[in-house]
Structure 1
Amino acid sequence: MEARLDLFANPVAGKILKHFTAAGRAAKEAGLPDSTRELVLLRASQINGCGFCVDMHTKEAAAAGETAQRLHLVAAWREATVFTDAERAALELTEHGTRIADGAGGVPDEVWANAAKHYDENMLTALVASIAVINAFNRINVIVQQPAGWYQPGQFA
């Protein structure tokens, strides 16, 4: 499979994507644990059916020390016993923030309050920004049919 557009060679795409990437890096500096951030990026990518991002964030999380068991259970996090309460709150916020058009009416107050119990304002900002940025990346990759499987950890660092 070949992508409809080569986003990595197109100068216009490069200008646009560097800003998305910069936003993601800024969010990373807010104190949110890297493991939580990778779980959030992976879960949103699973929901959106973005094979490229699922591949990327699974590999990045594994390279950062995430266990195979936890990575395999992200899609079923509600039934899994391997996630902390804080991670569960982040994953729930991710699902609601990703599925805003599914008739759920956005993020319910109780979901936000649960996340706020575990994360300070800077970390909540990082969560919200990470969810928004990964959703944008997912949509770009799905639209252009970016193939999955070739990404190597640290490739875009």
Structure 2
Amino acid sequence: MDARLNYFASPTAAKALKHLMSAGKTLKDSPLAAATQELVALRVSQINGCAVCIDMHTKEAAAAGEAPVRLNLVAAWREATVFTEAERAALELAEQGTRVADAAGGVSDEVWARAAKHFDEEQLTALVVLVSFMNTANRLNIIAQQPAGDYEVGQFH
């Protein structure tokens, strides 16, 4: 499978992606726990069906020491006992923030309150930006049909 576009061959796209990747680096350095970031990135990518991001975030999380059972259960986090209450709140917010068309008003007050119970304002901001960032990255990859499977840990860091 070949990608429809090579974003890096376009001066405009390459410049935009440079800024997008810089934003991703800023998020990595935020006070939101790295494990939470990878779980959220993986879940958003699963919902959107972005194979290349699922590949990337599964490999990055595993390389950072994430337990295989947790990676395998992200898609079914509600029924899994391996996630903390904070991670569950982040995953719930990520799902509602990704599926905004499914619910009038986007993220419910109840979901927001659960997240706010576990994360301070800086962490919540990072979480919201991460969800938005992942949705953007997913859409770029899906539209251009970026192939998955060849990602190497650290490739975009």
- Whether TM-score is above 0.5 comes out as yes
CA–CA distance in structure 1, aligned partners of residues 36 and 154 of structure 2: 18
The residue number in structure 2 matching 1:79 is 79
Letter aligned with residue 141 of structure 1? N
Q: Give the TM-score normalised by the residue count of structure 1.
A: 0.96
Q: What RMSD in Å do the two structures reach over aligned CA positions?
A: 1.0
Q: What are structure 2's unaligned runs of at least 5 residues?
A: none
Deviations 1:101-121 (A, max 9, x none): 123430000100100000011
CA–CA distance in structure 1, aligned partners of residues 37 and 48 of structure 2: 17
CA contact (8 A) 1:96 1:104 kept: no
The residue number in structure 1 matching 2:6 is 6
The residue number in structure 1 matching 2:25 is 25
Deviations 1:17-70 (A, max 9, x none): 121122222222221110000000000000000000000000000011101100
Number of residue pairs aligned between Structure 1 and Structure 2: 157
Structure 1 position 107 matched with structure 2 position 100: no
When structure 1 is superposed on structure 2, of 122-131 and 103-112 the one drifting more is: 103-112
Structure 1 residue 153, shift from structure 2 partner: 0.6
Higher helix share: 2
User: Mapping of 1:11-90 within 5 angstroms?
Assistant: 11-90=11-90
Letter aligned with residue 16 of structure 2? I
Structure 1 residue 13, shift from structure 2 partner: 1.8
CA–CA distance in structure 1, aligned partners of residues 145 and 18 of structure 2: 20
When structure 1 is superposed on structure 2, of 3-12 and 84-93 the one drifting more is: 3-12
CA–CA distance in structure 2, aligned partners of residues 5 and 79 of structure 1: 39
CA–CA distance in structure 1, aligned partners of residues 63 and 9 of structure 2: 26
- Any runs of at least 4 consecutive aligned residues in structure 1 with deviations exceeding 4 A, and if so which? none
Q: Give the TM-score normalised by the residue count of structure 2.
A: 0.96
CA–CA distance in structure 2, aligned partners of residues 84 and 55 of structure 1: 23
Q: What is the identity percentage for the equivalent residue pairs of Structure 1 and Structure 2? A: 66
Q: What are structure 1's unaligned runs of at least 5 residues?
A: none
